[in-house]
Structure 1
Amino acid sequence: MSMYRQLWFAIILSTLIALVGSLFASTISSRAYLNEQLRMKNSDNATVLALSLSQKNIEPVELELIVASLFDNGHYASIKVLDPAGKTLVERTAPAEQSNVPNWFKQWFPIQSIPGQAQISNGWKQVGTISLVSQNGDAYQTLWRSVQEMFAALTISGLIACYLGALILRRIKQPLKAVIDQAKGMTERRFIITPESSVPELKQLSTAMNSTVVLLKSMFAEEAERLETLRAQANSDATTGLSNRNHFISQLQACVEEENAPAGSLVLIRLAELASVNKALGRNKTDDLLKKVGQLLAIHQKHLHDGFAARLNGTDFALLFRREDAHTVSQKILVEIQKIFAEETESFTIYIGYGNYEFGITPGSLLAQVDAAVASAEATGSSNVHESAPLNIEHAPRSAEEWTKLILRAIEQNWVKLAYFPVTKSNGELIHKESALRLMFGGEWFPAARFLPIAERLGLTEKLDLIAIKLALEELNKASSDKEIAVNLSARSIQSADFRTRLKAILQSKPAAAKQLWLEVPENGVFANIDAFRMFHSDIAPTGCKLGLEHFGRQFDKINLLHDLKLNYVKIDGGFIRNIESNDGNQAFVKGVCHIVHRLALLSFAESVTSEAELSVLNQLGLDGATGPEVGRQFPLSE
Structure 2
Amino acid sequence: MSMYRQLWLAIILSTLLASIGSLLASTLSSRAYLNEQLRMKNADNATVLALSLSQKNIDAIELELVIAALFDSGHYTSISVSDPAGKEIIRRVAATEKNDVPDWFIRSFPIQSAPGQAQISSGWKQLGTVSLVTQSSFAYQTLWQSTKEMIATLALSGLIAGYLGTLILRRLRKPLRAVIEQASAMSERRFIVAPESKVPELRQLSTAMNSTVGLLKSMFAEEAERLEALRRQANTDPVSGLANRSHFMGQLHVMVEAEEAPPGSLIMLRLSHLAEINKQLGRNKVDALLKKIGSLLNTQANALPEGFAARLNGTDFALLFRQTEADTVTSTLLESICKELTEITDNPTAVFIGFGEFEFGIAPGALLSQVDGAVAAAEIGGISDIRKAAPLNIEQAPKSSDEWSKLIQRALEQQWVKLALFPVVDFDGKRIHTEAALRLMFGGEWFPAGRFLPIAERLGLTDKLDLAAVNLALDELARNSEVNDIAVNLSAQSIQNASFREQLRALLLSRPAISKRLWLEVPENGVFANLDAFRSFHADVGSSGCKLGLEHFGRQFDKINLLHDLKLDYVKVDGGFIRGIDINDANQAFVKGIGSIVHRMGLQIFAEGVSSAAELTTLSGLSINGVTGPAIGLATDTQSN
Task: Name the TM tier (shorter chain).
Answer: 0.3 to 0.5
TM-score by length of 1: 0.41
Which structure's CA Rg is the greater one? 2
Structure showing greater relative contact order (alpha-carbon pairs closer than 8 Å, 6 or more residues apart): 2
TM-score by length of 2: 0.41
